[in-house]
Amino acid sequence: MFWRNVGRRSVWREMDRLQREMNRMMDGFSEGARSEFPPVNIWANEENAMITAELPGVSTEDLDISVVGDTLTLSGERQAQNGDEEQTYRRRERWQGSFSRTLQLPFRIDAEAVDATFAHGILSVVLPRAEADKPHRISISAN
Amino acid sequence: MTESTIVKQEEQEYGGAERTRARRVYIPRVDIYETGDAVVLLADMPGVDENGVDVTLERNILTITGYIQDDERAGYGLAYREYGEGDYERTFALSDEVDRNRIEATIRDGVLVLTLPKAEEMKTRKIAVRSAA
């Protein structure tokens, strides 16, 4: 029954492969909707929100930030960093191309006071809450 | 573009050993291409500056390590997260074709560029073809 052993082993191998494949796919899902470039983190305090985005290799000239009402749009292009010399790729894992991402915040942004910095491939945009949208403290009067 | 090209991959373990720093470690995504006289490696390490990068070559094992600076987002709380912050590390086995003494590394906008010049005898040579007339 030699053939059966061989057959069985290969079935398990196939199952293992399938399981790995599934795990790999599920990994992607459990991370949430992360497939968009650039990935962003959103930080908040009472006054402002801050958005940080990983944009390695994007130069500031190729990056465009716009604010309208309560939305922020990051768009630009990540260009391949290579010379014009003839080249052969051995590995290509880094993403390149043009991107555009729009994020909606739970408040109106004071567009005049937005401050963006870009350092070591990380963009940080501080988005202050518009004056009209700031929380008001209500004083309670005893009668 | 598949999802796996965007999602940052976390390194699970390092040769079975535990780490001494309590920070996550990610595997930087790389491009490796070959030109006539060098092999060029580009690695995405957002948040790493020139003081935080380490390139070591031991025998034929090339290790690139990037340390991020502690995040100075004082006064803010994280509300939504798509990427994790942490250090970077990745190891490559080099072949003999690289001239070890002339490896150059630069980092700009969070991308490490390693130029590994080919050893003299490994450089691409153009062979002139003569006509047999």
Residue A141 lies in a domain: no
pLDDT for B17 equals: 67
Measure CB to CB from residue B35 to each of A24, A44, A87 and give the nearest one: A87
R_g of chain A, CA atoms, integer Å: 24
Which neighbouring-strand residues pair with A88?
A: B34
Residue A9 lies in a domain: yes
pLDDT for B121 equals: 76
Is A55 found in the same domain as A24? no
Residue range B6-54, pLDDT digits in tens: 667 777 666 666 677 778 889 999 999 988 888 999 999 999 999 999 9
Is A50 found in the same domain as A22? no
Report the gap between the CA of A142 and the closest CA in chain B (Å).
34
Is A114 found in the same domain as A75? yes
Tokens of B15: 């040769």
Tokens of A29: 């899902």
CA distance A141 to A64: 49
Residue A42 lies in a domain: yes
Contact criterion met (CB below 8 Å) for B83 and A50: no
Contact criterion met (CB below 8 Å) for B113 and B107: yes
* Number of independent structural domains in chain A: 2
Measured between alpha carbons, how far is residue B86 from residues A63, B38, B130 in Å? 24, 30, 57
Output A112 or A46, whichever has higher pLDDT.
Answer: A112
- List chain B domain ranges: 23-72+81-120
R_g of chain B, CA atoms, integer Å: 19
Contacts of A120 in chain B (CB under 8 A): 46-49, 107, 109-110
In chain A, the residue whose alpha carbon lies closest to the alpha carbon of B38 is: A87
pLDDT band at A34 (very low <50, low <70, confident <90, very high): very low
Say which CATH topology domain B23-72+81-120 has: Immunoglobulin-like (2.60.40)
Measure CB to CB from residue A44 to each of B4, B47, B76 and give the nearest one: B76
pLDDT for A1 equals: 43
CA distance B67 to B56: 14
Is A53 found in the same domain as A16? no
CA distance A51 to A76: 16
Is A1 found in the same domain as A58? no
CA distance B80 to A31: 12
Residue A86 lies in a domain: no
B48 contacts chain A (CB < 8 A):
yes
Answer yes or no: is pLDDT of A102 > 90. Answer: yes
What range does the domain containing A108 cover? Answer: 36-79+96-133
pLDDT for B1 equals: 44
Kindly state the average pLDDT of the residues A114-140: 89
Is A65 found in the same domain as A42? yes
Q: What is the ipTM of this complex?
A: 0.79
CA distance B114 to B38: 10
Is A68 found in the same domain as A40? yes
User: What CATH number did the domain enclosing A58 receive?
Assistant: 2.60.40.790
Is A27 found in the same domain as A47? no
| Residues whose CB is less than 8 angstroms from the CB of residue A100 and which lie 6 or more positions away in sequence, other chains included | A73, A74, A75, A76
pLDDT for B35 equals: 86
